Homo-oligomer: A and B are copies of this chain.
Amino acid sequence: MTKFFEAIKFPKLRTALVSIDSALNRVLAEKIIAEQDVPGFNRSAVDGFAVNATETIGATQFQPKIFQLTPRNRASSGKARQIWTGNPLPAGTDAVVMLEDTKRVRDRVDVWNQVTPGQNVSKKGEDIQKGTTAVEAGTRLKPQHLGFISALGVGNVKVFEKPRVAVLNTGNELKRLGEELEENQIFDTNSHVLRALCSELGAEPIDLGLARDDANEISEKLKVGLRKADAVMTSGGTSVGGLDLVPDAVNDIGNPGVIIHGIAMRPGMPTALAAVEGKPILILPGNPVAAMVAFEVFARPLICRLLGMKQVEPRPAVQAKMTRGIATALGRRNFVRVRIFKRDEQLLAEPVSAKGSSMISTMTRANGYVIVPENREGLEEKESVIAQLFDTVEG
């Protein structure tokens, strides 16, 4: 992976200024610094009565302190003002007595509990002080970030442009949706899956369509991809020991070409990582499950980098107990698909068995995967594992 990343000339990422209302899930390109204190004034954190705290000393339910209510923005000695959460504190007050600690009788209020100066008050600058960083560059903007940014009065933010990833699927046996299948043909699934995975991460997929198992056709489409996109991703036409049409085509069109071919993982072994004139090309297997796993392992870190994130965005991960044991291949990193579910408040991981790792249906029955390292021959029943989730957990 390091060697692969070294062969890539990561460009200075393009940025765009967008309204915070269209910035959800975009990656922030420059840190947001508070240009003012938030809140900008002392305000009440509760519903109640603003008072001068020293005048409440000794107040109890049996010996309440009595205040006259004032409607004014200034409270002199012996005066209190009714106030709601978020209201500014009137001059002359420094604390708020909560409603439930008072009894109001017409224009008078009995205070049953003493308060200390600053009690139930959100101080000026308590949320953030002028000049400090509110949100760091490289942050993926969630609703809470957009809320915080709007509280600072910032309406437009500089985000990184979505990286463009061109996706090509290869194979004589493939037909596009809408076409008629002939004997021994199948529908293209990988280009849909890979483009959806790109979109899900926040990249912009470019559809290069299909190429037949023909070196020239593959080369031509790869060149289009390299011209239009920041990265190219293919599937099919790569195996270990078999046909290597795509790696060969990549080597034909430029340098350094294929950097790594054949990864000690399962599924996903025939994956190859390449670069041509500094642009990354990911050569993923044709088997749809292997393609998804290889996307996870190689495309995800690459795209996170192109998105402008400082580290690879992790999937949610949970700890769960295996419902049964499973054998895996020694010497390879195995990605075991599991269905995580809840039973008796415990998370269980059921291996989604599949003789054929090519079965895309296994990916819809699973909602996560467990990595079994190279030096293990499997997982044991009741073993505690960490599963990375790619769908929700029911129950």
Stretch of A6-14, A191-199, A219-227, A251-259 with 4 or more beta carbons under 8 angstroms from chain B: A191-199
Interface-centre pick from A88, A189, A242 (highest chain B CB count, 10 A): A189
Contact with B along A238-258 (1 / 0, CB 8 A): 011111000000000000000
List CB contacts (< 8 Å) of A285-328 with chain B: 285-288, 292, 311, 313-314, 316-319
A356 touches B142 (CB 8 A): no
CB under 8 Å from chain B, chain A span 162-216 = 171, 173, 177-178, 181, 183-190, 192-193, 195-197, 199-200, 207
Query: CB of A375 within 8 A of chain B?
Result: no
Which B residues lie within 8 Å of A147 (CB)? 189-190, 192-193, 196, 288, 292, 360, 363
Interface size class of A (residues with CB under 8 A): 35 or more
Taking the complex as formed, is A122 at the interface, i.e. its CB lies under 8 A from any CB of chain B? Answer: yes
A128 within 8 A of B: yes
Chain B residues closer than 8 Å to A38, beta-carbon distance: 186, 361
CB-CB contacts below 8 Å: A42-100 with B: 43, 45, 47, 84-88, 99
Answer whether A86 and B286 are a contact pair too, CB < 8 Å, given A242-B47, A356-B126: yes
- Verify A287–B85 contact, CB threshold 8 A: yes
Closest B residue to A345 by CB, please name it. Answer: B386
Judged by a CB distance under 8 angstroms, whether A127 is at the interface is yes
User: Does residue A151 face the partner (Cβ distance < 8 Å to B)?
Assistant: yes
Cα–Cα distance between A139 and B149 once the two chains are bound (Å): 34
Within A325-372, the residues touching B (CB, 8 Å) are: 355-361, 363-364
Task: Evaluate contact between A316 and B393: CB separation under 8 angstroms.
Answer: yes
| Least Cβ–Cβ distance between A148 and chain B, in angstroms | 5
Q: From known contacts A47-B239, A142-B390, infer whether A177 and B148 are also in contact, taking CB-CB under 8 Å.
A: no
User: Which of A85, A135, A155 has the most chain B CB within a 10 Å cutoff?
Assistant: A85
Smallest CB-CB separation from A118: which chain B residue? B355
Q: A45-B355, A188-B150 are in contact. Are A84 and B318 (CB under 8 A)?
A: no
Q: Which residues of A contact B (CB under 8 A)?
A: 20-21, 24-25, 38-41, 43, 45, 47, 84-88, 99, 122, 126-128, 134-135, 140, 142-148, 150-155, 171, 173, 177-178, 181, 183-190, 192-193, 195-197, 199-200, 207, 239-243, 285-288, 292, 311, 313-314, 316-319, 355-361, 363-364, 389-394
Q: Can you spell out 20 A-B residue pairs with CB atoms less than 8 angstroms apart?
A: A24-B196, A24-B200, A25-B200, A40-B184, A47-B240, A85-B358, A88-B184, A99-B241, A122-B355, A135-B364, A142-B390, A142-B391, A143-B196, A144-B193, A146-B192, A146-B193, A147-B192, A150-B177, A155-B177, A313-B392
